[in-house]
Chain A
Amino acid sequence: KAGVTQTPRYLIKTRGQQVTLSCSPISGHRSVSWYQQTPGQGLQFLFEYFSETQRNKGNFPGRFSGRQFSNSRSEMNVSTLELGDSALYLCASSLNPGGATEAFFGQGTRLTVV
Protein backbone atom coordinates (compact mmCIF):
# COMPACT_ATOMS: atom_id res chain seq x y z
CA LYS A 1 0.00 0.00 0.00
CA ALA A 2 1.10 3.58 -0.54
CA GLY A 3 3.20 5.19 2.15
CA VAL A 4 2.93 8.61 3.72
CA THR A 5 2.94 11.29 1.03
CA GLN A 6 4.14 14.81 1.67
CA THR A 7 3.87 17.70 -0.75
CA PRO A 8 5.68 19.64 -1.90
CA ARG A 9 9.10 18.01 -1.55
CA TYR A 10 10.98 21.29 -1.74
CA LEU A 11 9.95 24.86 -1.06
CA ILE A 12 11.72 28.20 -1.00
CA LYS A 13 10.01 31.09 0.74
CA THR A 14 10.94 34.61 1.72
CA ARG A 15 11.11 35.78 5.31
CA GLY A 16 7.73 37.09 6.45
CA GLN A 17 5.72 34.92 4.09
CA GLN A 18 3.53 32.03 5.14
CA VAL A 19 3.60 28.43 3.96
CA THR A 20 1.28 25.42 3.97
CA LEU A 21 2.56 21.87 3.84
CA SER A 22 0.44 18.82 3.13
CA CYS A 23 0.53 15.24 4.36
CA SER A 24 -1.53 12.26 3.23
CA PRO A 25 -1.26 9.39 5.72
CA ILE A 26 -1.22 5.70 4.95
CA SER A 27 -4.69 4.49 4.04
CA GLY A 28 -6.56 3.58 7.21
CA HIS A 29 -4.26 5.53 9.49
CA ARG A 30 -6.10 8.15 11.49
CA SER A 31 -3.30 9.75 13.47
CA VAL A 32 -0.92 12.25 11.89
CA SER A 33 2.06 13.83 13.63
CA TRP A 34 4.39 16.55 12.43
CA TYR A 35 8.08 16.96 13.23
CA GLN A 36 10.71 19.56 12.43
CA GLN A 37 14.23 18.35 11.68
CA THR A 38 17.23 20.67 11.76
CA PRO A 39 20.96 19.93 12.08
CA GLY A 40 21.13 21.81 15.36
CA GLN A 41 17.99 20.65 17.14
CA GLY A 42 17.43 17.27 15.52
CA LEU A 43 13.91 15.91 15.26
CA GLN A 44 11.38 17.83 17.32
CA PHE A 45 7.70 17.10 17.74
CA LEU A 46 5.35 19.81 16.49
CA PHE A 47 1.82 18.44 16.95
CA GLU A 48 -0.44 15.46 16.45
CA TYR A 49 -3.93 15.18 15.04
CA PHE A 50 -6.50 12.45 15.37
CA SER A 51 -10.07 12.58 14.12
CA GLU A 52 -9.61 16.21 13.11
CA THR A 53 -8.60 17.19 16.65
CA GLN A 54 -5.22 18.27 17.89
CA ARG A 55 -4.28 15.81 20.62
CA ASN A 56 -0.82 16.96 21.50
CA LYS A 57 1.40 19.94 20.84
CA GLY A 58 5.13 20.45 21.09
CA ASN A 59 7.00 23.49 22.25
CA PHE A 60 6.72 25.69 19.17
CA PRO A 61 5.39 29.24 18.81
CA GLY A 62 1.85 29.95 17.69
CA ARG A 63 3.10 30.71 14.17
CA PHE A 64 3.06 26.96 13.69
CA SER A 65 -0.40 25.51 13.29
CA GLY A 66 -2.06 22.57 11.69
CA ARG A 67 -5.30 20.87 10.94
CA GLN A 68 -6.67 17.52 9.88
CA PHE A 69 -9.47 16.82 7.48
CA SER A 70 -12.17 14.17 7.63
CA ASN A 71 -10.17 11.93 5.27
CA SER A 72 -7.24 12.10 7.76
CA ARG A 73 -5.11 14.24 5.44
CA SER A 74 -3.32 16.94 7.36
CA GLU A 75 -1.82 20.32 6.66
CA MET A 76 0.54 22.42 8.69
CA ASN A 77 0.96 26.13 8.31
CA VAL A 78 3.78 28.42 9.31
CA SER A 79 3.08 32.13 9.27
CA THR A 80 5.51 35.03 9.29
CA LEU A 81 8.40 32.83 8.29
CA GLU A 82 11.78 33.34 9.91
CA LEU A 83 15.18 32.22 8.67
CA GLY A 84 15.31 29.73 11.52
CA ASP A 85 12.23 27.95 10.19
CA SER A 86 14.37 26.47 7.44
CA ALA A 87 14.18 22.75 8.07
CA LEU A 88 12.95 19.40 6.91
CA TYR A 89 9.33 19.01 7.98
CA LEU A 90 8.30 15.42 8.46
CA CYS A 91 4.89 13.91 8.77
CA ALA A 92 4.24 10.55 10.40
CA SER A 93 1.08 8.51 10.37
CA SER A 94 -0.04 5.76 12.67
CA LEU A 95 -3.12 3.63 13.01
CA ASN A 96 -4.25 5.07 16.30
CA PRO A 97 -2.89 7.47 18.86
CA GLY A 98 -2.18 6.63 22.44
CA GLY A 99 1.47 5.73 22.63
CA ALA A 100 3.21 2.46 21.80
CA THR A 101 2.14 2.74 18.20
CA GLU A 102 4.41 2.34 15.23
CA ALA A 103 4.69 5.59 13.28
CA PHE A 104 5.57 5.69 9.59
CA PHE A 105 7.26 8.77 8.16
CA GLY A 106 7.00 10.48 4.82
CA GLN A 107 10.01 11.79 2.91
CA GLY A 108 9.48 15.27 4.23
CA THR A 109 9.21 18.76 2.83
CA ARG A 110 12.47 20.69 2.68
CA LEU A 111 11.64 24.32 3.47
CA THR A 112 14.23 27.00 2.86
CA VAL A 113 13.53 30.52 4.08
CA VAL A 114 15.61 33.24 2.47
Chain B
Amino acid sequence: GESVGLHLPTLSVQEGDNSIINCAYSNSASDYFIWYKQESGKGPQFIIDIRSNMDKRQGQRVTVLLNKTVKHLSLQIAATQPGDSAVYFCAETGPNQAGTALIFGKGTTLSVSS
Protein backbone atom coordinates (compact mmCIF):
# COMPACT_ATOMS: atom_id res chain seq x y z
CA GLY B 1 0.00 0.00 0.00
CA GLU B 2 0.95 3.61 -0.20
CA SER B 3 2.82 4.99 2.76
CA VAL B 4 4.98 7.81 3.95
CA GLY B 5 8.28 6.83 5.45
CA LEU B 6 11.31 8.40 7.05
CA HIS B 7 14.86 7.62 6.10
CA LEU B 8 16.36 7.35 9.57
CA PRO B 9 14.74 6.15 12.78
CA THR B 10 17.11 8.19 14.97
CA LEU B 11 19.14 11.38 14.69
CA SER B 12 21.53 12.73 17.29
CA VAL B 13 22.81 16.30 17.16
CA GLN B 14 24.58 18.79 19.37
CA GLU B 15 22.80 21.81 20.73
CA GLY B 16 23.15 24.70 18.33
CA ASP B 17 23.59 22.52 15.25
CA ASN B 18 21.10 22.47 12.42
CA SER B 19 19.03 19.30 12.08
CA ILE B 20 17.62 17.81 8.92
CA ILE B 21 14.97 15.13 9.09
CA ASN B 22 13.99 13.41 5.88
CA CYS B 23 10.88 11.70 4.64
CA ALA B 24 10.06 9.87 1.43
CA TYR B 25 6.48 9.54 0.26
CA SER B 26 5.10 7.21 -2.34
CA ASN B 27 1.76 8.74 -3.36
CA SER B 28 2.47 11.20 -6.14
CA ALA B 29 -1.15 12.41 -5.88
CA SER B 30 -0.64 13.69 -2.34
CA ASP B 31 -1.09 17.43 -2.22
CA TYR B 32 -0.68 18.35 1.42
CA PHE B 33 2.12 17.48 3.80
CA ILE B 34 2.57 18.12 7.50
CA TRP B 35 5.35 17.71 10.01
CA TYR B 36 4.42 16.81 13.56
CA LYS B 37 6.50 16.69 16.73
CA GLN B 38 5.58 14.24 19.45
CA GLU B 39 7.07 14.46 22.91
CA SER B 40 6.87 11.62 25.37
CA GLY B 41 3.40 11.25 26.82
CA LYS B 42 1.86 13.80 24.50
CA GLY B 43 -0.05 13.82 21.26
CA PRO B 44 1.53 14.98 17.98
CA GLN B 45 2.01 18.71 17.79
CA PHE B 46 1.71 20.54 14.48
CA ILE B 47 5.00 22.11 13.36
CA ILE B 48 4.60 23.20 9.78
CA ASP B 49 2.76 22.24 6.62
CA ILE B 50 3.24 22.65 2.90
CA ARG B 51 1.03 22.23 -0.12
CA SER B 52 2.15 20.56 -3.30
CA ASN B 53 2.17 23.84 -5.25
CA MET B 54 5.08 25.01 -3.11
CA ASP B 55 8.62 23.69 -2.72
CA LYS B 56 9.66 25.53 0.41
CA ARG B 57 8.00 27.03 3.43
CA GLN B 58 9.58 28.65 6.46
CA GLY B 59 8.42 28.97 10.00
CA GLN B 60 10.11 29.98 13.20
CA ARG B 61 13.45 28.08 13.18
CA VAL B 62 11.93 25.45 10.90
CA THR B 63 11.87 25.04 7.13
CA VAL B 64 10.08 22.39 5.13
CA LEU B 65 11.31 21.48 1.67
CA LEU B 66 9.26 19.51 -0.82
CA ASN B 67 10.78 17.84 -3.86
CA LYS B 68 7.94 16.38 -5.90
CA THR B 69 10.26 15.02 -8.56
CA VAL B 70 11.75 12.49 -6.17
CA LYS B 71 8.83 12.52 -3.72
CA HIS B 72 10.93 13.74 -0.85
CA LEU B 73 10.09 15.93 2.11
CA SER B 74 12.50 17.33 4.66
CA LEU B 75 12.30 19.29 7.87
CA GLN B 76 15.17 21.57 8.78
CA ILE B 77 15.49 22.84 12.33
CA ALA B 78 17.90 25.71 12.83
CA ALA B 79 19.98 26.06 16.01
CA THR B 80 18.56 22.88 17.51
CA GLN B 81 17.78 23.08 21.23
CA PRO B 82 17.35 20.38 23.87
CA GLY B 83 13.64 21.13 23.85
CA ASP B 84 13.53 19.96 20.25
CA SER B 85 14.20 16.40 21.38
CA ALA B 86 11.16 14.40 20.32
CA VAL B 87 9.86 12.06 17.65
CA TYR B 88 9.15 13.78 14.35
CA PHE B 89 6.56 12.46 11.91
CA CYS B 90 5.77 13.49 8.40
CA ALA B 91 2.21 12.99 7.23
CA GLU B 92 0.43 13.34 3.94
CA THR B 93 -3.03 13.50 2.59
CA GLY B 94 -4.27 13.75 -0.91
CA PRO B 95 -7.20 14.34 -3.20
CA ASN B 96 -8.06 10.67 -3.16
CA GLN B 97 -8.60 10.84 0.56
CA ALA B 98 -12.04 11.99 1.55
CA GLY B 99 -11.80 14.18 4.56
CA THR B 100 -8.56 14.74 6.41
CA ALA B 101 -7.26 11.19 6.78
CA LEU B 102 -3.52 11.49 7.31
CA ILE B 103 -0.98 8.85 6.38
CA PHE B 104 1.96 9.00 8.76
CA GLY B 105 5.53 7.92 8.40
CA LYS B 106 7.23 5.82 11.05
CA GLY B 107 8.95 8.71 12.75
CA THR B 108 12.48 9.92 13.49
CA THR B 109 13.63 10.29 17.08
CA LEU B 110 15.71 13.45 17.42
CA SER B 111 18.08 13.57 20.39
CA VAL B 112 19.77 16.86 21.21
CA SER B 113 22.71 16.86 23.56
CA SER B 114 24.02 19.98 25.26
CB-based nearest A residue for B104:
A43
Q: A42-B107, A43-B104 are in contact. Are A98 and B44 (CB under 8 A)?
A: no
A24 within 8 A of B: no
> A33 to chain B: which residues have CB within 8 Å?
99-102
CB distance from A70 to the nearest CB of B (A): 19
A84 within 8 A of B: no
B99 interface neighbour in A6, A43, A50, A107, Cβ under 8 Å: A50
Q: A33-B99, A43-B104 are in contact. Are A99 and B49 (CB under 8 A)?
A: no
CB within 8 Å of A: which residues of B? Answer: 31-32, 34, 36, 41-46, 49, 51, 89, 91, 93-95, 97-107
CB within 8 Å of B: which residues of A? Answer: 4, 6, 31, 33, 35, 42-45, 48, 50, 55-56, 58, 90, 92, 94, 97-108
16 examples of A-B residue contacts, CB within 8 angstroms: A6-B43, A31-B100, A42-B106, A42-B107, A55-B99, A92-B102, A97-B98, A98-B100, A99-B31, A99-B32, A99-B95, A100-B32, A100-B93, A103-B100, A105-B45, A107-B43
